[in-house]
């Protein structure tokens, strides 16, 4: 790796730190302006002002927002996510109990959607303008246009209610065999795959088609290289960076955008935990989940950037 490449990666890493600080400010103060608070949610609408004031003082909500922000940020930098205002449990424990479930869902979805998207995108680019290309484009555009909640609802109605092949809700505590694992994860994974595979496939095709107009591709064709070899041996290696970015952007949906999927299928992941935090006005829990989602998203982007820099011939030669 050249010095220039290393410095570029270092600048990107420092930019991520600055971004996280800005995001922490936005997350804290946006959640601070949500109507109601944990004390009101806990005591209900019939609580007296004295009861609310006492509970807010116990929760530390009477302090100015700036003071609470810096106290939260100081704990965050030390790895202390604080205590949940609703369950009075350490937020680290709450997130730890859900992190494995979210990671499993994201891993299974990525393992299926990424190869499938690459195959669709590369095939479409190799046969650009053909009936196969038009069919794949129509299918991916249709899938991108359909909201994920509609896909999930139709999947539940058809495969869980009508055919009864798979359960409508996911109860991971009941999974005790590979078959049960497949049955439980089929609907949420299939729904997420529909959402992100089509987008990844379209971005992959666009990156390859852009390379197909380059002079070196024309030279390869003049030398008699076949269309399949032109794409796989010449165009594809030069699109690793753009394709990696496309995959990172698409997979970032799995980090925080799976809220609807986890809610519909009652999946016990981080997104569902954050939804519960919003319902209970549990601000520390909401802030911790949001920071985790943002950190994972930025990590995906920097990995894609690093792959793009390393595989870029111009930067490699420096």
The CATH number of residue 194's host domain is 1.10.3720.10
Element (H or E) spanning 55, and its range? helix 49-59
- Tell me: pLDDT of 300 over 70: yes
pLDDT band at 178 (very low <50, low <70, confident <90, very high): confident
Hey, what are 195's tokens?
């959402």
Give me the count of residues in the chain: 318
**50 burial level (CB within 10 Å; 0-12, 13-18, 19+):** exposed
Identify whether 60 is part of a domain: no
Q: Which residue has the tokens 């030069």?
A: 238
Identify whether 62 is part of a domain: no
For the chain, the domain total comes to 1
Question: What is the rounded CA–CA span in Å between residue 269 and residue 95?
Answer: 9
Its domain, for residue 29, covers 3-34+81-316
Identify whether 222 is part of a domain: yes
Identify whether 229 is part of a domain: yes
pLDDT tens-digit profile of 193-231?
Answer: 887 898 889 888 888 888 887 888 888 887 887 777 887
Question: Cα 177 vs. chain centroid, distance in angstroms?
Answer: 28
Identify whether 10 is part of a domain: yes
What mean pLDDT, rounded, does the chain reach? 81
- Tell me: pLDDT of 164 over 80: yes
pTM of the model: 0.79
The string of DSSP letters for 180-206 reads HHHHHHHHHHHHHHHHHHHHHHHHHHH
Identify whether 43 is part of a domain: no
* pLDDT in the model for residue 260: 80
Hey, what are 133's tokens?
């290309």
């Amino acid at each position: 790796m050249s010095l220039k490449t290393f410095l570029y990666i270092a600048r990107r890493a420092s930019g991520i730190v600055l971004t996280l600080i800005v995001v922490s400010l936005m997350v804290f103060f946006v959640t601070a302006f949500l109507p109601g608070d944990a004390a009101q949610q806990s005591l209900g609408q019939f609580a007296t002002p004295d009861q609310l004031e006492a509970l807010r003082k116990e929760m530390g909500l009477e302090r100015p927002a700036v003071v609470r922000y810096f106290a939260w940020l100081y704990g965050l930098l030390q790895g202390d996510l604080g205590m949940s205002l609703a369950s009075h449990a350490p937020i680290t424990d709450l997130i730890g109990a859900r992190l494995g479930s979210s990671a499993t869902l994201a891993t299974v979805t990525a393992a299926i959607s990424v190869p499938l998207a690459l195959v669709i995108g590369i095939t479409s680019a190799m046969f650009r303008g053909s009936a196969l290309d038009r069919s794949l484009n129509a299918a991916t555009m249709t899938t991108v246009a359909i909201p994920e909640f509609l896909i999930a609802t139709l999947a539940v109605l058809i495969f869980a209610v009508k055919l009864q092949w798979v359960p409508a809700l996911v109860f991971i505590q009941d999974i005790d065999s590979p078959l049960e694992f497949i049955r439980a994860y089929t609907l949420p994974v299939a729904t997420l795959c529909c959402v992100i595979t089509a987008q990844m496939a379209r971005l992959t095709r666009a990156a390859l088609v852009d390379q197909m107009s380059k002079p070196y591709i024309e030279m390869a064709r003049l030398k008699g290289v076949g269309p399949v070899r032109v794409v796989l041996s010449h165009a594809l290696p030069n699109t690793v960076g753009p394709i990696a970015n496309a995959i990172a952007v698409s997979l970032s949906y799995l980090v925080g955008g799976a809220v609807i999927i986890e809610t519909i299928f009652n999946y016990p992941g981080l997104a569902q935990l954050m939804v519960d935090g919003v319902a209970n006005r549990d601000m520390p829990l909401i802030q911790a989940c949001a920071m985790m989602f943002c950190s994972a998203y930025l990590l995906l982007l920097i990995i894609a950037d690093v792959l793009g820099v390393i595989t870029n011939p111009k930067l490699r030669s420096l």
